[in-house]
Amino acid sequence: MHNDAKRGNPAIPEAAREVHEALQVDLEWLRRQPGQATERVIQLSQEWIDTVCADTEARAGQAVQLSAQLSLHSDGTLLVRGSLTGEILAPCGRCLGDAGVDASDELCLTFLPAARIRDYLKNTPGDDPEGLELVASDLDEIFYEGNAVDLSNVVREQLLLALPMRVLCARGEACRGMCGRCGAMVNDMPADATTCSACKAPFMDEPEEHEQEIPAWKRKLMGLSDDP
Ligand SMILES: [Zn+2]
Ligand SMILES: [Zn+2]
């Protein structure tokens, strides 16, 4: 699933590039580090998060922090264990005001050298559908090429998956959103108002909620098929 991920995406703006670089793990460098595991703490800047969220309605709040422990085994397997902590902002489904979305999550990733899988498949005599299936089905393992592992794609996916389909601002269910007819902010009108103070339209029993369709990129990440 990840092995064909593009590297060195030219669309990364200059301000986000520093974080993108920090998310590249140089395995040669890692191999020279003493001890079993190397700790890495990376602040995912607002610019980087805004780049990640570019196709969504969300945007950066404060910086999200990635803390990870990297351990490289002699066979080239890289284990990344850690966590994301922080918040992203998404528009409230009713009033479109900022709603904080907790982006905190655990990270548990295994990267395998792609060459090893190719060798394995090559040395497996005959047609071995079981072997192939085994490789293809294990989505927890990510293949990498060469001497560097790019963490940016997996961290990006993790942040995007943290975005829920329905978000409400700090008012929660008490948010009365916007007038369905003229768009005036009902939250600013008297609490007992039954008609819009701007256009005089009567309010519905339930506040209007802005329905969000699951975008194609998210369906793909969630493993949902577009086929019925
Ligand atoms: Zn709201
Ligand atoms: Zn109105």
pLDDT of residue 138: 55
Q: Which residues surround ligand 2, an ion (CB under 5 A)?
A: 179, 181-182, 184, 196, 198-199, 201
Higher pLDDT pick, 70 / 208:
70
Tell me the ligand closest to 203's alpha carbon: 2
Q: Is the confidence at residue 190, as pLDDT, over 90?
A: yes
Q: What average pLDDT does the chain have?
A: 84
Higher pLDDT pick, 60 / 2:
60
CA of 181 to the centre of ligand 2 (A): 5
DSSP β-ladder status, 141-144 and 105-113: parallel
CA of 132 to the centre of ligand 1 (A): 48
Amino acid found at 95: C
Tell me the ligand closest to 185's alpha carbon: 2
Q: Looking at 10-14, 162-166, 185-189, which range is the least confident one?
A: 10-14
CB-based contacts of 56, cutoff 8 Å, min separation 6: 90, 160, 163, 215
CA of 177 to the centre of ligand 2 (A): 11
- The per-residue pLDDT for range 100-112, each reduced to its tens digit, is 999 999 999 999 9
Higher pLDDT pick, 129 / 71:
71
Confidence band, pLDDT 50/70/90 cuts, at residue 91: very high
The predicted model gives 76-101 an average pLDDT of 94
Beta-ladder partners of 71: 79
CA of 159 to the centre of ligand 2 (A): 36
pLDDT of residue 125: 65
CA of 6 to the centre of ligand 2 (A): 47
The predicted model gives 78-99 an average pLDDT of 95
Strands (E), the chain: 24-26, 38-44, 59-60, 64-72, 78-85, 87-91, 98-102, 105-113, 141-144, 148-150
Q: Which of 138, 185, 196 is nearest to 3 (CA)?
A: 138
CA of 173 to the centre of ligand 1 (A): 8
CA of 180 to the centre of ligand 2 (A): 7
Confidence band, pLDDT 50/70/90 cuts, at residue 4: very low
pLDDT of residue 3: 39
CA of 166 to the centre of ligand 1 (A): 11
pLDDT of residue 209: 80
CA of 165 to the centre of ligand 1 (A): 14
CA of 214 to the centre of ligand 2 (A): 28
DSSP code per residue over 123-178: TS-S--HHHHHHHHH-TTEEEE-TTEEE-HHHHHHHHHHHS-S----TTGGG---B
Q: Is the confidence at residue 9, as pLDDT, over 60?
A: no
How many whole angstroms separate alpha carbon 26 and alpha carbon 211?
43
- The per-residue pLDDT for range 114-146, each reduced to its tens digit, is 887 777 777 766 655 555 555 545 557 888 999
CA of 163 to the centre of ligand 2 (A): 30
Q: Is the confidence at residue 82, as pLDDT, over 90?
A: yes
